[in-house]
């Protein structure tokens, strides 16, 4: 046991003194998180001026059209929103869920009827809860517009009725100006129904991961999940080096057991992984403001599990590769494959189903999705299956490696 810890400490020291290892394990992921997280923009909170929204007008009467005209003709609103007018409510709802739209307004078929009857209206405003600020602006615009429009419409209705009564002329004149235009007949209506903010039913849609999580956070999870495995490559390098330079033989000539040697080296890789994870976790928080979610414990447990899997992978790599050259070829290829199928680059939901067999054996898959779940609000209990899967894969890799490892 003492030998095991001695070897683990030595191993971690040797790897941490390798500049290339530090570059690949720390600098590379941070750089990639920054580049990918910023180049693809962000769908996160508190950002840009062009908020994608849609309006669907299902109103069979005239009032819905007034709403639409009012919202689309305003220059101020155009500066803030990218408004798409659509007929397909189902498609719009789906787009909000996917994060393609930040929010939407769906005008019910009975709007005119309700307003005319003076009943509370039920506008449906849906928003991506991951973009609360942007969505919130839309909600308040709709509310304000509703109040304004209601006033206008009712005023118009009263006026129309009065005019009709007085001159028998057709309705429509003042209405044609629309609710967005402020100039209109300024007759105060005799009574205003309670046409205010509460009238708008805001339904929050449970949007999916990629919609809720900013790009920078997404890639913090993705790249951390990928690069945590790279410790295995340097662990395997170290094994090959020790075999070649005879320090392994020298260790074998000491009273230390083979188990202590293999275990010590694996724990050394684990220690490196834990250090790497700590740097990436804190680094992405402090440098990029990444929000890893409420449950720090869950995130740390996932990271620790993957560092263990990296230690297991180190043994498999050391068993498969005889030289640094071959390991330097196998390791990045295997890690990239795990990472690409595991969601480091593209959300796994968007990958074809036939990749599933690779995904379930990819520690990156369970790690990245676990991180993302925690960012979305998952707790330790929620990600236990992920942790179990990562540990199982790590154990299998370790067992295979130890079985095939050659010491000479």
Residues in touch with other proteins (CB under 8 A): 2-3, 6-7, 10, 13-14, 17-18, 245-247, 249-256
Nearby residues of 43 by Cβ (< 8 Å), 6 or more positions away = 99, 102, 130, 131, 210, 211, 214, 215
DSSP 35: H
Residue 139: φ, ψ to 5°: -60, -45
| Least distance to other proteins, CB of residue 406, Å | 13
| Least distance to other proteins, CB of residue 4, Å | 11
Q: Two tokens at 22? A: 């530090």
Question: Whose Cβ is closer to other proteins: residue 20's or residue 166's?
Answer: 20
Question: Whose Cβ is closer to other proteins: residue 24's or residue 320's?
Answer: 24
Taking alpha carbons only, the member of 332, 342, 377, 328 closest to residue 28 is 332
Question: Whose Cβ is closer to other proteins: residue 116's or residue 247's?
Answer: 247
Question: Whose Cβ is closer to other proteins: residue 16's or residue 100's?
Answer: 16
What is the rounded CA–CA span in Å between residue 63 and residue 236?
A: 71
Q: Two tokens at 63? A: 């009032």
Question: Whose Cβ is closer to other proteins: residue 2's or residue 353's?
Answer: 2
| Least distance to other proteins, CB of residue 236, Å | 16
| Least distance to other proteins, CB of residue 339, Å | 29
Question: Whose Cβ is closer to other proteins: residue 251's or residue 364's?
Answer: 251
What is the rounded CA–CA span in Å between residue 234 and residue 14?
A: 10
Q: Two tokens at 208? A: 């999916």
**Taking phi first (over 0 means left), then psi (-120 to 50 degrees means alpha), and beta for anything else, what does residue 200 get?**
beta
What is the rounded CA–CA span in Å between residue 159 and residue 179?
A: 15
| Least distance to other proteins, CB of residue 264, Å | 10
Question: Whose Cβ is closer to other proteins: residue 156's or residue 231's?
Answer: 231
Question: Whose Cβ is closer to other proteins: residue 24's or residue 340's?
Answer: 24
| Least distance to other proteins, CB of residue 253, Å | 4
What is the rounded CA–CA span in Å between residue 330 and residue 217?
A: 29
Taking alpha carbons only, the member of 267, 235, 248 closest to residue 335 is 235
Taking alpha carbons only, the member of 101, 109, 67, 107 closest to residue 84 is 101
Residue 251: φ, ψ to 5°: -60, -40
| Least distance to other proteins, CB of residue 27, Å | 19
| Least distance to other proteins, CB of residue 246, Å | 4
Strand partners, 125: 105, 202
């Amino acid at each position: 046991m003492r030998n095991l810890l001695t070897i683990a400490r030595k191993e971690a020291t040797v790897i941490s003194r390798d500049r290339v290892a530090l570059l690949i394990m720390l600098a590379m992921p941070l750089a990639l998180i920054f580049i990918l997280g910023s180049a693809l923009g962000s769908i996160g909170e508190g950002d840009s001026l062009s908020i994608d929204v849609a309006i669907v007008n299902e109103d069979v009467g005239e009032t819905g059209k007034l709403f639409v005209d009012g919202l689309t003709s305003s220059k101020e609103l155009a500066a803030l929103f990218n408004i798409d007018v659509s007929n397909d409510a189902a498609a719009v709802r789906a787009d909000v869920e996917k994060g393609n739209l930040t929010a939407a307004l769906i005008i019910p078929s009975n709007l005119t009827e309700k307003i005319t009857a003076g009943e509370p209206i039920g506008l449906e405003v849906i928003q991506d809860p991951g973009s609360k600020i942007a969505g919130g602006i839309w909600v308040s615009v709709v509310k304000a517009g509703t109040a304004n429009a209601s006033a206008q419409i009712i005023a118009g209705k009263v006026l129309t009725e009065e005019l009709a009564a007085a001159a028998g002329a057709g309705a429509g004149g003042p209405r044609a100006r629309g609710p967005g235009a402020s100039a209109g007949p300024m007759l105060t209506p005799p009574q205003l129904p309670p046409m205010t903010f509460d009238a708008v039913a805001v339904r929050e849609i449970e949007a999916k991961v990629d919609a809720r999580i900013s790009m920078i956070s997404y890639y913090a999870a993705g790249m951390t999940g990928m690069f945590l495995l790279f410790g295995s490559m340097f662990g395997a390098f170290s094994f090959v080096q020790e075999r070649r330079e005879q320090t392994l033989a020298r260790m074998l000539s000491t009273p230390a057991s083979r188990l202590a040697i293999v275990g010590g080296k694996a724990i050394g890789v684990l220690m490196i992984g834990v250090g790497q994870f700590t740097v990436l976790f804190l680094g992405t928080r402090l440098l990029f403001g990444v929000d890893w979610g409420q449950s720090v414990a869950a995130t740390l447990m996932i990271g620790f599990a993957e560092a263990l899997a990296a230690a297991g992978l180190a043994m498999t790599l050391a068993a498969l590769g005889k030289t640094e050259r071959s390991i330097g070829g196998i390791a990045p290829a295997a890690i990239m494959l795990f990472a690409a199928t595991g969601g480091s680059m593209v959300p796994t939901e968007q990958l074809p189903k036939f990749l599933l067999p690779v995904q379930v054996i990819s520690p990156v898959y369970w790690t990245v999705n676990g991180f993302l779940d925690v960012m979305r609000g998952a707790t330790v209990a929620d990600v236990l299956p992920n942790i179990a899967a990562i540990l199982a894969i790590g154990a299998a890799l370790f067992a295979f490696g130890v079985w095939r490892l050659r010491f000479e």
